[in-house]
Chains A and B, each alone.
Chain A
Amino acid sequence: MTQHRQAFALPPGAPSIDQMIAAERRRARKRLWTGLAFMAPAIAFVAIFLLLPVVFNLYASLTQWAKFSGLNQFAGLANYQRLASSPKFFDATLNTMIWVAVSFVLPATIGLSLAMLLRGVKGEETFKSIFFLPRMFSATAVGVIWYYVYAGDGIVNSGLRAIGLGDLASRWLYESHLATPAMIVTHIWQQVGLMMVLLLIGLNALPSEPMEAAKVDGASRSQIFRHIVLPLLMPTLIMVTTVSVLAGFTSFDLVWVMGRDFPNRSTLTLSVNQYWESFRAGSWAYGAAIAVVLGIIAMSISWSLGALQHRLDKR
């Protein structure tokens, strides 16, 4: 160390290396505190209101907590075992899986078709706003409107009667095999505009050279779409699918408003099941366990789609 110091010819009166190191340390310490001060409010809010609850929820799911007692009685995995044998949870999971499966395919497909249809059509901006408009309504409001759309004398049934298909008229939200599909149609009606706009942004960002080159080479429109547009659009499509699946998966408001009076379990989803068990039945620990299951499914969906995205980026 001393040899190094002698290697520098310090001008007289200049601070020594030690002093400079100490000064730099002070500055680094000051930067650390300033940086943390800027981030402190965000960290505090997120830690207290979001992360702490998640940890507490995880803990609560392992206790016997119900009706304001039993939080200190450890239950191990008993709540999860109860889940596994509950027919309600089974139905809720099944219905949620239907929501997930449909949200995987339909919103992105319909959104992409709309986006392709809208490109270059006269009045593109107006149409874009029309298809996007449902998204500006809350899921609560959409649920209320469509509750009447599906009513006995609502639009759907009167429309069917008007075109001579009156036999198909049903009590859509009250037939166990129709209720969930009817709600999913409503959900898609609300979400597809968002998917369309996101895909239009992706489409407009694509480079135009490969398509023009293919056109010159005499490729047909469907060939260009299949072999050039679709692969280039893949990252956007995966992003849109992630958004869509997570939205369908956790949708609560719509199901709550449209299907809560429903006597049997045909519309129950995990999020409604979770709310019901916790806030109506008072089985806090059990509700917390359902929330954990929801969290695990949501995270595995976004992680696997994220990994897919990552692999595509690498290629």
Chain B
Amino acid sequence: MSATTFDLATLDFDAIARRNDQARTQRILLFAITAILALAWVTPFYYLAISIFKSNAEYGLGNPLALPTSITPVFENIAEAWSKAKMGSGMLNSLLYGLVGGGAAIFIAALASYGLTRIEFPGKGFWFMLIFSGTIFPLQMYLIPLFMGYNKLGMTNSRIGMMLFYTAVCIPFPVLVLRNYMAGLPREMDEAARIDGCSEFRIFRSIILPNCWAPMATLFLIQFTWIWNDLIFSMVLTSREDARSLMNGLMVLQGSYANTTPNVVMTATLLASLPSVALFLLLRKHFMNGLKLQSL
């Protein structure tokens, strides 16, 4: 491919043009296939989005994909969904569980990862495996003992009980990630402080932690979304409306009104999903980074 032997006369311009055309049609074809697939993918969302604008009577008529005739029924739908599914308290509870559970879990995981990467002591491998073993059992193995234990201690239907459990279940995965991340931070950063007589907690708080905000924020997003979207633990550990999570409320609403007021159930579904979807659309980069963490 040396340029010195290049001879313009030997170039077949028609062939090059044909190849370019071919590449272009191929590109357009691939784009078209992707676009059609994407369209199919968003159809259920489109359906969700238009259904919330339909009154019960309008929903029952005709084509499910038809545009709504007016947008005013949405206010009535929201009001009805809000009161029937007790979405006010549900949202507050889910927010509380997600913020406290996710936040506490990641702070505790950061503490443990500091101990695992910065302090030399025997038996570290054992303690790490103990924490890590919290990821290998299917969640079904926790349900009965938790329910019984909480029942004995009077902790069912308690917000504290829910936050404690969500904290625990969200600890192991961040330990795995933060341990790898902290192990990659240069030792010199904290060695100097240690020689100067800084306490370990001080080093953790003012040297290591400030360098871990990026993975911690990403991990928090992952765990917050998990807690927000969880159904089964709220089903097992809460039965009263004042402690149950938003998804539990949605499930109960669907159970009783799925066939009588579909428009209201759809509205509740959209409202319940809006927070996590908005988080994703705003912080897409962090979510994608989180997936990189997961694939390590």
Q: Let me know if B137 and A131 touch, CB within 8 A.
A: no
With CB as the reference atom, state the residue of chain A lying closest to B122.
A32
Which residue in B31, B109, B230 is a CB contact (below 8 Å) of A122?
A: B31
CB proximity of B207 to chain A, nearest CB, Å: 14
Contacts of A133 in B (CB 8 A): 41-42, 45, 277, 280
Q: Let me know if B112 and A140 touch, CB within 8 A.
A: no
A149 to B47, CA, bound (A): 8
Q: Is A198 an interface residue (CB 8 A)?
A: yes
Given contacts A134-B41, A140-B231, contact A148 B127 (CB under 8 A): no
Q: Is B91 an interface residue (CB 8 A)?
A: no
Q: Let me know if B146 and A42 touch, CB within 8 A.
A: no
A58 to B211, CA, bound (A): 42
**B: interface residue count bin:** 35 or more
Interface of chain B residues 213 through 256 with chain A (CB within 8 A)? 225, 228-232, 235-236, 247, 250-251, 254-255
CB proximity of B85 to chain A, nearest CB, Å: 11
Most A Cβ at <10 Å: residue of B38, B167, B265? B38
CB proximity of A23 to chain B, nearest CB, Å: 16
Q: Let me know if B272 and A292 touch, CB within 8 A.
A: no
Q: Let me know if A35 and B115 touch, CB within 8 A.
A: yes
Q: Is A107 an interface residue (CB 8 A)?
A: no
A295 to B145, CA, bound (A): 15
A66 to B131, CA, bound (A): 31
* B-contact bits for A213-245, CB 8 A (1 contact / 0 none): 000000000000000000000001001000000
Interface of chain A residues 24 through 53 with chain B (CB within 8 A)? 28, 31-32, 34-39, 41-43, 45-53
Which residue in B38, B149, B291 is a CB contact (below 8 Å) of A194?
A: B291
Which residue in A35, A56, A138, A239 is a CB contact (below 8 Å) of B276?
A: A138
Contacts of A270 in B (CB 8 A): 140
Q: Let me know if A141 and B269 touch, CB within 8 A.
A: yes
Given contacts A49-B169, A250-B138, A275-B232, contact A121 B121 (CB under 8 A): no
Which residue in A46, A151, A278 is a CB contact (below 8 Å) of B144?
A: A278
Contacts of A298 in B (CB 8 A): 136-138
Q: Is B21 an interface residue (CB 8 A)?
A: no
Q: Is A90 an interface residue (CB 8 A)?
A: no
Contacts of B277 in A (CB 8 A): 133, 136-137
* B-contact bits for A127-147, CB 8 A (1 contact / 0 none): 101111110111111011111
Which residue in B134, B144, B225, B232 is a CB contact (below 8 Å) of A136?
A: B225
Which residue in B30, B254, B295 is a CB contact (below 8 Å) of A236?
A: B295
With CB as the reference atom, state the residue of chain A lying closest to B199.
A34
Q: Is A106 an interface residue (CB 8 A)?
A: no
Q: Is B57 an interface residue (CB 8 A)?
A: no
* A-contact bits for B89-115, CB 8 A (1 contact / 0 none): 000000000000000000011011011
Chain B at the A interface: SS class:
helix
Which residue in A34, A145, A250, A288 is a CB contact (below 8 Å) of B47?
A: A145
A41 to B110, CA, bound (A): 11
Q: Is B124 an interface residue (CB 8 A)?
A: yes
Contacts of A268 in B (CB 8 A): none
Q: Is B168 an interface residue (CB 8 A)?
A: yes
Q: Is A100 an interface residue (CB 8 A)?
A: no
Q: Is B33 an interface residue (CB 8 A)?
A: yes
B-binding segment of A1-9, A80-88, A153-161, A174-182: A153-161
A206 to B265, CA, bound (A): 45
Given contacts A46-B131, A239-B295, A287-B144, contact A294 B112 (CB under 8 A): no
Q: Is A57 an interface residue (CB 8 A)?
A: yes
CB proximity of B110 to chain A, nearest CB, Å: 9
Q: Is B43 an interface residue (CB 8 A)?
A: yes
CB proximity of B45 to chain A, nearest CB, Å: 7
Q: Let me know if B247 and A117 touch, CB within 8 A.
A: no
Contacts of B124 in A (CB 8 A): 35
Q: Is A54 an interface residue (CB 8 A)?
A: yes
Q: Is B71 an interface residue (CB 8 A)?
A: no
Q: Is A62 an interface residue (CB 8 A)?
A: no
Which residue in A31, A42, A138, A239 is a CB contact (below 8 Å) of B171?
A: A42
Q: Is B294 an interface residue (CB 8 A)?
A: yes
Contacts of B112 in A (CB 8 A): 38-39, 41-43
A271 to B292, CA, bound (A): 29
Q: Let me know if B288 and A49 touch, CB within 8 A.
A: no
* A-contact bits for B253-279, CB 8 A (1 contact / 0 none): 011001000100110010011001101
Q: Is A89 an interface residue (CB 8 A)?
A: no
CB proximity of A234 to chain B, nearest CB, Å: 14
B-binding segment of A11-19, A163-171, A252-260, A307-315: A252-260
Q: Let me know if A271 and B295 touch, CB within 8 A.
A: no
Which residue in A117, A144, A194 is a CB contact (below 8 Å) of B250?
A: A144
29 A-B pairs with CB atoms under 8 Å apart are: A31-B121, A36-B127, A37-B115, A38-B112, A39-B111, A46-B134, A50-B137, A50-B168, A54-B142, A60-B145, A117-B30, A117-B34, A129-B284, A137-B277, A138-B230, A141-B247, A141-B273, A143-B254, A144-B266, A145-B44, A145-B269, A147-B254, A148-B47, A202-B295, A260-B255, A279-B143, A287-B144, A292-B141, A294-B138
Known: A38-B119, A49-B169. 7 other contacts (CB 8 A): A45-B171, A46-B171, A46-B172, A133-B277, A134-B41, A151-B262, A291-B141
Top 5 A-B residue pairs of the complex, sorted by shortest distance between their CB atoms:
A38-B115, A138-B229, A49-B168, A53-B145, A42-B112
